[in-house]
Amino acid sequence: MSGVLGTEAYTNYFDVHGQYRQGAITGSMPAGSVLGTVISFFIANGISRRTWIQVAAVVWIIGSILQTASNGIPLLIVGRITAGVGIGIASTMVPVYQAEIAPKEIRGRVVSLQQWAITWGILIQYFIQYGASFTGGGANNVHQGTEAFRIPWAVQIVPAAVLFVGMFFMPYTPRWLAAHDRWEEAIRVLANLHGNGDIGHPNVLAQYREIEEVLRFEREEAVNAWRALTKPRMLNRVILGMSIQMWSQIGGINTMMYYIVYLMQSAGIGDPLLTASIQYILNVALTLPAIFFLDTWGRRSSLLFGSVGQGLCLFLVGALEGIYGRPNTHEDPNLDAISWVLEGHPNASRAVIAFSYLFVCVFAMTWGPTSWVYASEIFPSGIRAKAVSLSTASNWMWSCAIGFAVPPVLWSINWKIYMVFGAFNVLAFIHVFFAAPETKGKTLEEMEDVFDANKPPWQRRFSGSRLDAIQRDIENGDLKIMPPLELTDSNYA
């Protein structure tokens, strides 16, 4: 959306001069995403993670077609809601899929790749929008044609089609297969993922043992998945997962991503569309450190550092805007969408842009990937998909609220909005410090040990993994495990 906001074609065709109207258009996609996560919650475990991702791709294609064909705000909103449903399903199932197939040593790295892929998608789409803005005489031509926004919206169909076809070549997750008593397929997938196809590999047998024991325990307990979500010890985790996703959205990133063009227009430096594009490049580049080092840094320290860094950047942007800015007199028709401008203070303008870029860099290294990793790994197998769908619903509900509220709020309180989001980061730091234990280096089946430890989160330290101990026992011949299928390495290959 951000790449078309600055074009005359979009502004005139949809007549989005009112702040609430643009808020409704922007907020309609995350609103659809909430619906998608709710759908995932109710039927998450019946259909495989892989199939659900393909369903999401089809729904996204339908939404993209509706957006491209839109002849007014109503159809545009319907298209964005439809596409949002696809996003809601995918953003619920992709982290679960990744967490369930990844080795514990690189699980953070693998799930972080989702966030990196998202940043690439944002960057590529933004430059497609930027390129399309030159059609029809350019973004400032009042007679610019609708191809300025129809081309980038149509291009969205391509990656969704690639995803739909590509998932046919991906495996089902072994934990989903095991939960549906498809053990033979499950151990074959484990062997392909973690043992180079060898079903007798110690790591494969150890993971089979871990999964089998946890599933047996869950079935012996015979606790309904719905009731399990509301048990006190599990409800705390559900609230934590939902809160982590909430803080990631109300920490200020959506203001920067959705409405960065408004900030650039207010600063009055260069071409707003081109200047805004730099943050998307930074978003891609600075997600890389998280991919390489999140499993070393740890989830908890990453979130704490991110809250401090983001809060400082937002407080500084707000202070600079408040000290050096003034109300917009609307003498320049190109600045009608904003109510506060920085004029005559080029150094202050540069500093505002620099700190907005730095904010994006901090988010990309910390909250961006870590919020998805943490929320995907802290729940037990029986309720993982449902609990992650609740966490993801929290993400999209707050994203929807921010997308809708920012235009009118930014118009009304101007620079003070950055102080509000800065304060949210302070609250996020406090909450993470007192409620979020470290989870790096643990298998999904060992999260019970992490969260049931009788220590506060900042004192919980765990060395090694139970899976490693089981694997050593198998390698040393102290533990014999027979997989539930009669296959040799040769006939399996």
Q: What is the pLDDT of the chain when averaged over all its residues? A: 85
> What Cα–Cα distance (Å) separates residue 44 from each residue in 39, 40, 448?
8, 5, 22
Do 224 and 382 touch, CB atoms closer than 8 A? no
Long-range CB pairs of 406-412, under 8 A, 24+ apart, other chains included:
406/23, 406/254, 406/255, 406/258, 406/259, 407/19, 407/20, 407/22, 407/23, 407/26, 407/259, 408/19, 408/20, 408/23, 410/255, 410/259, 410/262, 410/338, 410/339, 411/19, 411/338, 411/339, 412/339
Residue 440 is predicted with a pLDDT of 86
Residue 493 is predicted with a pLDDT of 39
Q: Over the stretch 445-473, which tens digit does the pLDDT of each residue have?
A: 788 888 887 788 887 666 667 777 788 88
Q: Distance (Å, rounded) from C-alpha 401 to C-alpha 27?
A: 7
Q: Over the stretch 368-407, which tens digit does the pLDDT of each residue have?
A: 999 988 988 898 877 888 888 899 889 888 988 887 787 7
Name the residue among 235, 217, 194 with its Cα closest to residue 381: 217
Residue 334 is predicted with a pLDDT of 62
Identify which has the larger pLDDT, 283 or 60: 60
- 152: confidence class by pLDDT, cuts 50, 70, 90: very high
Q: Over the stretch 295-345, which tens digit does the pLDDT of each residue have?
A: 888 899 999 999 999 999 999 999 998 898 888 776 666 666 677 778 778
CB atoms within 10 A of CB 214: 21
For residue 186, is pLDDT > 80? yes
Q: Distance (Å, rounded) from C-alpha 232 to C-alpha 237?
A: 9
Residue 6 is predicted with a pLDDT of 72
* Helical residues (DSSP H) of 156-298, grouped into ranges: 157-166, 174-179, 183-194, 202-221, 225-230, 232-250, 253-267, 272-297
Residue 492 is predicted with a pLDDT of 40
Residue 165 is predicted with a pLDDT of 97
> What Cα–Cα distance (Å) separates residue 34 from each residue in 52, 92, 164, 374?
16, 10, 22, 19
3-state secondary structure (DSSP) of residue 341? strand
Tokens matching residue 38: 């709710």
For residue 491, is pLDDT > 50? no
pTM: 0.77
- 52: confidence class by pLDDT, cuts 50, 70, 90: very high
Q: Distance (Å, rounded) from C-alpha 160 to C-alpha 58?
A: 7
Question: Which run of H or E residues covers position 327?
Answer: strand 326-327
Domains observed in the chain: 2-201+204-456 (1.20.1250.20)
Q: Distance (Å, rounded) from C-alpha 349 to C-alpha 332?
A: 18
3-state SS, 353-404, equals: HHHHHHHHHHHHHCHHHHHHHHHHHCCCHHHHHHHHHHHHHHHHHHHHHHHH
Identify which has the larger pLDDT, 308 or 11: 308
